[in-house]
Amino acid sequence: MLRSEAIVDLAAIRANVETLRSGTEAELMAVVKADGYGHGLVPAARAALAGGARWLGVAMIEEALALRAAGIREPVLAWLWTRQETDELRLAVDAGIDLTVSSTAALETVLATAAESATPARLHLKIDTGLSRNGATPADWPALVTAAGRAAAEGTVDIIGIWSHLVSADVPDHPTTKSQIEVFTEALDIAAALGVRPQIRHLANSAATVTEPAAHFDLVRTGVAIYGLSPVPERGDFGLVPAMTLRSHLANVKRVPGGTGVSYGHDYLTDRDTTLALVPLGYADGIARNATNLGPVSIGGRRYRISGRVAMDQFVVDVGDAAVSEGDEVILFGPGTAGEPTAQDWADALDTIHFEIVTRIGARVPRTYRGLDQVWADDSKPASTR
Ligand SMILES: *Cc1c(COP(=O)(O)O)cnc(C)c1O
């Protein structure tokens, strides 16, 4: 058995995709960037496809290429790249990866790459409707659409989509969402007037998928929700089931007297004779150092907090007089069904969001998979990754 592991329930990811699809007429893109939000890129992608996702979305080109290398043929959109990545762009075009273009400069780079490729580059033009990250401003939009339309007429590119990203979809009925839908619709009208009418218009993330049908268009890009984390926690769980359980086992257990200082700097002092339990996970594994004296854990079905500083490889828990032994299981977070903390509980304790809790689990923690049979038809199934 493993010392520590992130157990990923692929059947939950599959079911979450089915749940999300039942709430929209649009196709679903499963966002599997950042190693599937820490759940494993290829297993998460396979589980989502088994649940009926038709598209996969990633940030970086190498993430898209890794999906292709695993034999996944479905459409994949990559949305964050730089002009330096000429080799990667070439591989992406050859592999039929859909690429986002936000500027005429980026378009020129893609055109130079596509000119050397036998296949047209597949493009999604991005309009900045207010987030001010990627995307052409409304002022620059007509020039980008015109240049892309010309390249499409020459056969160098296929314009597959037009898209944008929301600012505050996690706050239902936020006025910014409404104004972004308006700017997006205007951008679609301008493109149509310039002869560019792609089939796939997309705007919604997970939060808008569960709360804002007016943002669904042809495709919704769901990330956090497919992993079972509520995109709008104040509104409940939307029937989603958290897919990841992070667990370890106690490496040391001992009795100490009251007044014992614990871990670096002695930021925790025992207030009575008590039992200290040592957990072999630290900030190198993605347990944030600011979880010191805060992070919730479950041992033997009881909840505790981390006692003292989180170190690189380990932290301590004061379990009082509970009967615990070396080798006992400790659960940091899971679906919460057995009383264990959830990723949401960790996010609340650390004043962050559950996205960060699951995504930053480090490479030293093996991912092991449940529900593989529901996801993999052939026998290339991994028992675990890393
Ligand atoms: C990460 C990301 C998503 C998915 O967002 P969730 O809130 O996790 O659903 C969608 N679109 C873009 C552009 C993203 O970067």
| Residues 50-99 pLDDT 10s | 999 999 999 999 999 999 999 999 999 999 999 999 999 999 999 999 99
User: Which among 185, 201, 228 is the end of a domain?
Assistant: 228
Atom of ligand 1 nearest to the CA of 169: 7
Please tell me whether residues 307 and 352 are part of one structural domain. yes
Q: Which of 202, 228, 254 is the last residue of a domain?
A: 228
**Higher pLDDT residue, 376 or 380?**
376
Whether the CA torsion 281, 368, 386, 361 is positive or negative: it is: negative
The catalytic position among 126, 254, 264, 381 is: 264
Shared-domain flag, residues 268 and 167: no
CA of 153 from ligand 1 middle (Å) equals 31
Q: What is the CATH number of the domain that holds 345?
A: 2.40.37.10
Beta strands in 164-308 (DSSP E): 200-202, 219-222, 244-249, 252-256, 261-262, 268-269, 274-279, 296-299, 302-307
Asked which of 121-125, 294-298, 352-356, 375-379 is least confident by mean pLDDT, the reply is 375-379
- Number of alpha helices (DSSP H) and beta strands (DSSP E) in the chain: 11, 20
**In a domain? residue 236:** no
Shared domain for 276 and 162, answered yes or no, is no
Ligand 1 binding pocket (C-beta < 6 A) is: 31, 33, 79, 165, 205-207, 221-225, 231
Which residue carries 């919704």 as its tokens? 220
> In total, how many domains does the chain have?
2
Ramachandran category for residue 176: left, alpha or beta (phi over 0 → left; psi -120 to 50 → alpha): alpha
Select which of 33, 37, 227, 268 is catalytic: 33
**Residue 380 in this model has a pLDDT that exceeds 70:** no
The pTM of the full predicted model, rounded to 2 decimals, is 0.96
Residues 351-360, mean pLDDT to the nearest whole number: 98
| pLDDT for residue 375 | 84
C-alpha 31 – ligand 1 centre gap (Å):
7
For residue 165, the CA-to-ligand 1 centroid distance in Å is 8
Residue 377 confidence (pLDDT): 66
- Mark whether 204 and 256 lie in a shared domain: no
Let me know whether 78 and 216 are in one domain.
Answer: yes
- 178 a catalytic residue: no
Query: Domain check: are 157 and 275 in the same one?
Result: no
Question: What confidence tens digit (pLDDT) does each residue in 89-141 have?
Answer: 999 999 999 999 999 999 999 999 988 898 999 999 999 999 999 999 999 99
pLDDT tens for each residue of 178-228: 999 999 999 999 999 999 999 999 999 999 999 999 999 999 999 999 999
* CA 30 to centroid of ligand 1, rounded, Å: 9
Task: For residue 67, give its domain range.
Answer: 10-228
Of 200, 228, 256, which residue constitutes the final position of a domain?
A: 228
Name the CA radius of gyration of the chain, rounded: 23
Residue 268 annotated in active site? no
Q: Do 215 and 250 sit in the same domain of this protein?
A: no
